[in-house]
Homo-oligomer: A and B are copies of this chain.
Amino acid sequence: MRYFMSFSYDGSKYKGYQKQPNERTIQKELEEAITKINSNQEVSIHASGRTDAGVHAYNQKAHFDLDNIIDCDKLKHSLNSIIPDDIYIRGIVNVADDFHARFNVKAKEYIYKINMGTYNPIEKDYIYQYNKRLDVAEMERALKYLEGTHNFKSFTKSDEEKDDYVRTIVQTNLERDQKNLNQITLSFLGTGFLRYMVRNMVGMLIEIGEGKHKSEDIIKILESHDRTKAGICAPACGLYLKDVFY
């Protein structure tokens, strides 16, 4: 029987989603818990994709198979009682055996939070603290140049070897927090993302907000297919996998 779950996590105390030897990862915690419930018969989890160390998720999705039929609500409660309290299973449903949490992804939404105001120690692992004013209107214009289907090689991990760097960003948004105008949230809805792509795009947008580049420079940088032409990689703490769509 195939089970499909959605879950959220605070990534700040993990070395990312994906299992690695001798490291605390989200996948490791979840697989150990499900294996325990499955009478210690090993279970593998297939997520929609990995998130890097320090990146958070509101609504990550994954599937796994169990030989036994377990009530989904009971399974959810059992799992939540075993896993650490910085991971939370939001829901579990049964799906067809040919449904795959990674291969069937239609779109993903990421958000990135920036604080230009006074540093707030309560949010240190949950927002990127940026101690200069940014030209938010210019960043918003730049964001629009990223929408559409482009080769995003300039915005991926520099040593990432891929057959295909073309991805489609369906929608972007920049929102100011209405209670704290110094906080902005960038959002990116896309059919797929390369490694570090969101953080590299945000790094570029920040340099545009600082006045180091103009918004329309994005066009040339996309066309260059050259990682060194784009900006810095923004830190992980501001990034959230908001949702995965099928």
Q: Is the CB of A122 within 8 A of B90?
A: no
Which residues of B lie under 8 Å from residue A178 when comparing CB positions? Answer: 178
- Whether the pair B119, A88 counts as a contact (CB closer than 8 A) is yes
Q: Which chain B positions have C-beta within 8 A of A71?
A: none
Closest approach, in angstroms, between the C-beta of A20 and any C-beta of chain B?
21
Whether A155 is near chain B, meaning CB under 8 Å from some CB there, is no
Q: How many copies does the complex hold?
A: 2
Quick check: is A68 within 8 A (CB to CB) of the other chain?
Answer: no
A9 touching B121 by the CB < 8 A rule?
yes
Residues 5-36 (chain A) with a chain B CB within 8 angstroms: 8-10
Interfacial chain B residues near A87, Cβ < 8 Å: 121
Question: Which residues 66-107 in A have Cβ within 8 Å of B in the complex?
Answer: 85-88, 90
Give the CA-CA distance A10 to B126 in the complex, in Å.
13
Tell me if A40 counts as interface (CB < 8 A to partner B): no
CA distance A119 to B58 in the complex (A): 10
Would you call B122 and A10 a contact (CB within 8 A)? yes
| In-complex Cβ contact of A120 among B88, B118, B122 (8 A) | B88
Does A10 contact B86, Cβ atoms closer than 8 Å? no
Q: Which residues of B contact A122 (CB under 8 A)?
A: 8-10, 56, 58, 86, 126
Q: Assess whether B121 is in contact with A10, with CB atoms less than 8 Å apart.
A: yes
In the assembled complex, which residues on chain B have CB atoms less than 8 Å from the CB atom of A119?
88
Point out residues on A near B: beta carbons under 8 Å: 8-10, 56, 58, 85-88, 90, 118-122, 124, 126, 178
23 contacts between A and B (CB under 8 A): A8-B120, A8-B121, A8-B122, A9-B121, A9-B122, A10-B121, A10-B122, A10-B124, A56-B122, A58-B122, A85-B121, A85-B124, A86-B121, A86-B122, A86-B124, A87-B121, A88-B118, A88-B119, A88-B120, A88-B121, A90-B118, A122-B126, A178-B178
